[in-house]
Structure 1
Amino acid sequence: MASFVTGAISLLVFFLIGTSSAQLCSDFYSRTCPQVFPVVRSAVYSAILNETRMGASLLRLFFHDCFVNGCDGSLLLDDTPLFTGEKRAAPNFNSARGFEVIDEIKSTIEMLCPGVVSCADILAIVARDSVAILGGPNWNVKLGRRDARTASQLAANNSIPPPTSNLDFLVSNFNSLGLSIKDLVALSGAHTIGQARCTNFRDRIYTETNNLDSIFAQLRASNCPGNTGSGDNNLAPLDLQSPTTFDNNYFNNLVNRRGLLHSDQQLYNGGPTDSIVRTYYDNPSSFASDFVEAMIKMGDIRPLTGYSGEIRRNCRRIN
C-alpha cells in the first residue's frame, strides 16, 4: 500500500510539474537569469543606433518564427545534412536579417547564465524592445519557451503570408493560428517601421489601378523599375510618413490609399477590416493597446515547454 501511495504521489508531482511548466510567465527568469533583460535591451539599442532599420528586422524575426510551427526559435537554425532550414524559405531568403544581433545576445547570456535562456525567448524579448526603443508601447513579455531541434523550409513557405495575399487569405491564415481579425490588423501595424524590397511591391504600383494613390505610385516607381530583375532589392519604406518611428501612421497611409504592399492595402479595401483600420487611424492609443494584446497572443502560439525541445547553447544549431 505504501509503495502505491508513493507512486501515486510521484505521479501527481510529475503531473503538476508538467502542467505548470507549460505556462509562460513574465518572471520566468527572475531567479535563474535576471540579467537577460538589460543585456537584450542594450544590444537591441546598440543595433538600432547603428542602423535604425534593424529594429523592424528584429521584430520581423519574431513574426516569422511564431508563424511556422509556433514560437520555438526554429527560424534561427542553419541548414544541416538532415534538414533545410527556414532561412532559405521564400519569405526569408535574402530578406530576414538581424541574426548576428541574436548571436551576440545569446553569446553574452550564455556567459552569464549558461544553458538557461532559450533562443525562442530571446526573440520575444528582442521584439518587445525593438518596438519600445522606436517609440512604441512596452509590455511584460511572457517567457518559458524552449527551442526546437529542427526546422522546416516547407512549413515556412506555406505558413508565412506573402505580400500578394488578399484579405480572405490573410484572415484564414491568422485564424488558423488562433488570431482574430482585430489581431491581424493590429499586428499588420508593425509595418509602421521597416522597408520592403522592390520585388515585393512592384506588381502593386505597376498593375493595380484601384485603391492606389497615383502620386504615391509614381514616387515608388522612381526607385523600382518595372522590369523584373532590375532593382529587385531596392528598398522603400513601408510607412511613407515616419518609417523609423513606431506609431499609427501606417493606418493613415492605408486610408489614403498609400499602403506599399498589396497585402497592406487589402486591410482597407471595402471589407470587414476597414472599421478597425479607421479606429487605429483615429485613436493611436487603441492601436497601441491592441498591438500589445496581439503580440502577447502571438507569442503563445504553440510554444515548446517543460521537457520538450532544448535550450540551445548556440541559436544556429542544436546542442
Structure 2
Amino acid sequence: MFSLDKLIRNNIKGLSPYSSARDEFSGEAKVFLDANENSLGSPLNKWYNRYPDPHQVKLKAAISQVKAVNTDRIFLGNGSDECIDLLYRCFCQPGKDNVIICPPTYGMYQVSAEINDVAIKKATLLDNYQLDLVHLENLVDENTKIIWLCSPNNPTGNCLNREDIEMVLNNFNGLVVVDEAYINFARQRSWVQELQEYPNLVVLQTFSKAWGLAGLRLGMAFASPEIVEVMDRVKPPYNINQVTQELALQALEEVGQVNDMIRLLVDMRDALAEVLVQLPNVEKVYPSDANFLLVKMKDARGIYNKLLEQGIVVRDRSNVKLCEDCLRITIGTEQENTTLVDALNNLN
C-alpha cells in the first residue's frame, strides 16, 4: 500500500517552513512596513519593490480553471526543473535512496539525482521507445522512491502506452512522476484528471512549450494536496517572481490563441515529417506527439555541423543510446522549416 508518510524524509517531516512577512497576517492592508522592502518604489513604473505573493493565489486560481483541478493540487516552480529538484529533496534520502529513469529521456532527472546524492537505476526503453516493464519491476527495491516517466518523451517524441503507466502506478508504492511537458501537442489525454485515483501520482507540466513562455521559467506540478503541502514546505518563499505571475495570468486569458498555435505547430510538424522522410540523407522520421521530430540520418553528426555552418541549430542526439545517428529538430516557423529543408537539400 502507498504511504506518503513512509516516503517523506525524516528531516522534512519536522521542518518548520520559512514564514515570510506576508504569511503572518490575514486580510487586506494599506500600509506595508513588514518586509523591509524599498518603500520609495523602483526605477520601473510598477510595484516591483514589493515581494510577490508567495502562494501565487491568483495564478493558481486561473490555472485551476484551465486545468479543471483544485488549487490545493497545484504546485508552481521556477521551471519544471525546480519541481524535479524539490521532489528529490522532499522524498529521497541522500546516500541511501534510489530512483528509476527510463532512458533515453530528459537529462535533468539524472543531473538532479546526482546533485542530491541519490542513486540512479536505468530501465532503458525498448526499441519501440516504450517501457520495459519487466526490467523496470526488477530494478525496484525497498529504497526506490521515485520512478520518472516522460510522456511524450524527450528526445523520442512519443507518448508512453497508457496501460503501461497504469501498471506502474498500480504496482509501485513510491512516487510515479509523469512529465507532460509536451502533452498539449499529443492526442493522449493528460494524467492530471487521474490524480484522485492514484495518490502516488505526480504530473509535471510547463508554460515553456505550448504556452510559448520559456523565458518566464514557470513549471507546474499536480499531485495530492498532501504531496503539494510537503513541496510548499520546502520551497523558497518567493520562488515565482511578480513579473512571471503577472504575465502568466495574462497568457491564461488567451487560451484560444494558444490552442490555435498548437494546431498550427502540429500541422507543420506533420508536414515537415512528410518532406524530411523523402530526403536521401534521411533514414527514418520517428512518429511524434511533441513539437519536435527525432530524425535518423546518414552521418547525423556531419549534417549537424554543416547545418551549423549555415546558422541552423538543431540538437545532435547521436551519442544517446537508442538515438544513434539521430537529430532532434524543433518545429520552427514556416520560414524556418523551409530554410532547414532547403539546407538539407543542398547537402546532396
Give me the TM-score of the superposition, normalised by structure 2.
Answer: 0.27
Give 1 or 2: higher helix fraction: 1
Structure with bigger gyration radius = 2
Higher relative contact order (CA 8 A, sep 6+): 1
| TM-score normalised by structure 1 residue count | 0.29
